[in-house]
Chains A and B, each alone.
Chain A
Amino acid sequence: MELTLRIKRFNPGAERPQAYWKDYPVSIEDNATVLDTLIYIRESLDGSLTLRCSCRSAICGSCAMRINGHAGLACKTKASEAKDKDGVIRVEPAGNMPAVKDLAVNLDLFWRKIEQVEPYLKPQGPVPEAEYVVSNESMLHLSGVTACIMCGACVSDCTVLEVDPNFLGPAALAKAYRFTADPRDGDAKGVSRDRLRTLSEYGGMWDCTRCYECVQACPKGVAPMDRIMALRDQAIKAGFGNNNGARHTEAFTESVGHSGMLDELQLPIKTVGVTNLPALLGFAPVGFRALTHGKLPPLVHKNIENVENVRKLYQKLDASESEK
């Protein structure tokens, strides 16, 4: 198979360090992965090409990079499927992390965020002599999260981290969920209250915008965003609803459940809290601009037709929830 690997190179030791694209036309076996191709280039054409890689079987997490603009593992991506109609595959370092050299990025911030969630089991109460007795289902569920190999693909493509480096990010939050969902962590009922309280703060679970990029990028099916949503559920249940994120969710749910559609006027008010004057005043300029541009939502919020059907759906959801 003939193809061209278009690699974004960067050498900080160069006289004028600047990233540039370089094309490597290669002839390689049909079933080669992108990693096989990169290794071939490194071993046969240009030994100065730097990338991290080790296991070649999607378990060590070293070779996350952007392939054709999206993060993934080079060892898990078939070259034949990645090449475009001109036979070109674009390979560049993972996003949201500065390149050190070529495809190797600086993961310091990634690891700092992981450490920030205190990533180790914190059981309360006496440790049993033998193993903790817990259900297989609970362990299988957790194994779906511990399957995370810390490759950083989700962080690379996270659209919140792109604009707010303070966000814990999908990998660290999924890691946190791995503990909050562990029946061995937290109090006697397995509720990790301290974790949920901290994770509800600024930069935590409520800062995800649900763009789905992390779910798409994850090569191990961890679905970080789903874990973040599960964290929100846990936090509200544990009583940590006193924050914008949780109030936003509840106001949203309440409005749709009541009228069948979103009351856009009430949503921001309920999100920050009716008595939160400074925040409410902060909305004034936005409200004014909306008004002058004819974008202000109707002042009187009406029910949609057949709203009873929506309410029936809610009742069904509530019933299935209480069954659990």
Chain B
Amino acid sequence: MLEHDVLVIGAGLAGMRAAIAAKAGGANTAIISKVHPVRSHSNAAQGGINAALTDRGDNWEDHAYDTVKGSDFLGDQDAIEVMCRQAGRSLIDMEHMGVTFNRDDEGHLGTRAFGGQRRARTFFVGDFTGQALLHVMFEQLIKSGVRRYEEWFVTSLIQEQGRVCGVVALEIRTGQLQAIRAKTLIFCTGGLGRVFEPSTNALIVTGDGMALAYNAGARLMDMEMVQYHPTTLAGSGVLISEAARGEGAHLLDKNGERFMKKYAPNMMELASRDVVSRAEQTEINAGNGINGCVLLDCRHLGEKLIKEKLSQIREIGIDLAGADMIREPIPIRPGMHYIMGGIKTDVDGLTNLPGVYAAGECACVSVHGGNRLGANSLLDTIVFGERSGNHAAAVSKQMEFIEFDGDAAVKREEQRIQGILNRPQNGDRVAKVRLAMGQSMNRNLAVFRKQEGIEETIQELQELKTRYAQAPVDDKGRVFNTDLVFALELGFMLDCAETIAVSALERKDSRGAQFRTDYPKRDDENWLKHISVRKGEVGPEVSYMPVTFTKWKPEERKY
């Protein structure tokens, strides 16, 4: 049987960083991913990566405070301290690996301003920072010699003696199932954007790792905290980077007014994302938008700056909205973008399951709390990817493999998959069920939420689960059967959707990304705590976890 000390699931930035660290730590390491590593969704991060570099007068405590405030004081401050302290080192490491960061006139790393921060500390490569980092990390992965299982899809975890001790995975190209034994697992499977429709997220972002871990008994935390990005393109819903506003773009209503002055008179367009998205939605709902959108105006930035620093989003605007931002404003609206919540971990990535780690968007340390600052997600992936890889490598040296019957595990999974392939046609489709789920989530768990709506979605999710259990697939073959993969992914997404809705219903205050129109105030007395869910007999079981405070006391949040 294939076996590894450390098996990393997911090969985006966090996963590759974790694998490289684990290999360097002397562990027999492998990385498994349902897509080739450079196809991962870390690509989509456009604007940059935050770090406070002391040699230019910044300090990590300022970065940490901005992050704490951005989180609406729900972030765990010990974890935020760890991230912000390590940021500078991690950033410089990436530069040494070969990232082509933009420079200032002296040849040092250049910065741009980003939302919710009092100074410019976002380092960038044009407006494709994520892609630049991802490809360099892949270069380092090649160099490291880590074993790669590319286009392998983990369908289930194997548990023995109360421990997760391996996975069953589908080699997509052949359709064969294989068991892989592992002492430790690191989930780096990213977010769950496809649970919502529309979303800025890629089609592969389906919450696989969160659902696998949840079903194995892991704790998910802050799942109600779903970030709606202020600038997603009308129609396709594709992301337009915060870098546009970082470089000075304005948000305008239908009369050409910069409406942010009503909501964030100091930071204006660069208030934190939850604040800007809420402002936009308020204006749109009040009839001050145009066709359900407001306008992002870059014209005054000039052709040179746009071409040098915002070329990719200009291209997206031209390709997908037929609008060239050099000459005209582009229509944008808030769109589902990121989940702050995820698999609860400590600062070394360890979950409540022994030997199981998580890092990146699928994890919740919690450094983002109620709202993530732009450009903190890339940072999160490399800091906690590295830490979890280090820790898992060290721990796996003290551990033995747990014996299990791999053939039996594969056979069980084979039967389940054959069951899906054998479902008779009934007029329903996996894609239809997913769409219904996504639309329900976007209707009731978006920028504004209330009890009746959330309950409606919880009810609908139950019905969709019933439909899902019968939904047939067209492709009955085994070779590169994406139809089957989508069916398996939908199972994961429905589990994730339920944990989001249940957590949102539980939280009866408005904080960070969650705004409850029936509880419109932040209520620190009762709700300054994390909501955590674990899988119970009939669904998610809710409990609470305390927020960790170190230096910063909760205060009213103004931008």
Chain A residues in contact with chain B, CB under 8 A?
11-13, 31, 33, 42-44, 46-48, 50-62, 76, 78, 100-102, 104, 106-107, 111, 115, 119-121, 123, 127, 130-136, 139-140, 142-143, 146-150, 179, 182, 184-185
A107: chain B residues at CB < 8 Å are 36
Instruction: Compute how far the CA of A184 lies from the CA of B100 in the bound complex, rounded to whole angstroms.
Output: 10
Contact B132 A47 (CB under 8 A): no
| Closest 3 A/B residue pairs (Cβ) | A47-B474, A121-B98, A43-B431
A to B CB contacts below 8 Å, 28 in the list? A11-B477, A44-B429, A47-B429, A47-B474, A48-B475, A48-B477, A50-B480, A52-B35, A54-B204, A55-B43, A55-B202, A57-B236, A58-B316, A59-B131, A60-B38, A61-B39, A62-B35, A101-B479, A102-B480, A123-B96, A130-B55, A131-B109, A135-B107, A136-B107, A139-B102, A143-B102, A143-B132, A150-B38
A139 touches B101 (CB 8 A): yes
Contact of A54 with B316 in the complex, beta carbons under 8 Å: no
**Of A50, A55, A61, A121, which is within 8 A of B482 by CB?**
A50
Does B173 touch A at the CB level, under 8 Å? yes
| Closest A residue by C-beta to B106 | A133
Residues of B within 8 A of A76 (CB): 319
Q: Which residue of B lies closest to A47 (CB)?
A: B474
Residue in B143, B173, B204, B482 with the greatest tally of chain A CB atoms within 10 Å: B482
| B312 contacts chain A at the CB level, 8 A cutoff | yes
Q: Is the CB of A56 within 8 A of B103?
A: no
Q: A136 touches which one: B41, B92, B105, B202 (CB < 8 A)?
A: B105
Contact A146 B55, beta carbon cutoff 8 Å: no
Contact of B38 among A48, A61, A132, A143 (CB under 8 A): A61
Whether B430 and A57, one on each chain, are in contact in the complex, defined by CB atoms closer than 8 angstroms, is no
**Nearest-CB residue, chain A, relative to B473:** A47
Contacts of B164 in A (CB 8 A): none
> Across the interface, which residues of B come within 8 angstroms of A31, CB to CB?
235, 320, 322
* Cβ contacts under 8 Å, B236 to chain A: 56-57
Q: By the criterion CB–CB under 8 Å, are B430 and A47 in contact?
A: yes
Complex contact B322–A133 (CB within 8 A):
no
Q: 17 extra interchain contacts, Cβ-Cβ under 8 A, other than A53-B203, A150-B135?
A: A11-B479, A13-B479, A42-B482, A44-B431, A47-B483, A48-B474, A120-B98, A127-B96, A130-B92, A133-B108, A135-B107, A136-B102, A136-B104, A136-B110, A143-B125, A149-B38, A184-B98
Question: What's the Cα separation between A53 and B140 when bound, in Å?
Answer: 25
Collect the chain B residues with CB atoms within 8 Å of residue A182's CB. 98, 100
- In the complex, the answer to whether B203 meets A54 with C-beta atoms within 8 Å is yes
Q: Which residues of B come within 8 Å of A, CB atoms?
A: 35-36, 38-41, 43-44, 53, 55, 92, 95-98, 100-110, 125-126, 128, 131-132, 135, 139-140, 142-143, 173, 202-204, 235-236, 238-239, 308, 312, 315-316, 319-320, 322, 429-431, 473-483, 486
Q: Which of A11, A47, A127, A136 has the most CB of B within 10 A?
A: A47
CB atoms of A146 and B39 under 8 A apart: no
Residues on B with C-beta less than 8 A from A50 are 475, 480-482
Residue of B nearest to A106 (CB): B173
> Which of A53, A134, A147 is packed against the most chain B CB atoms within 10 Å?
A147
A138 vs chain B, min Cβ distance (A): 8
Expressed in whole angstroms, the Cα–Cα distance for A119 and B142 within the complex equals 8
A135, B236: Cα distance in complex, Å:
37
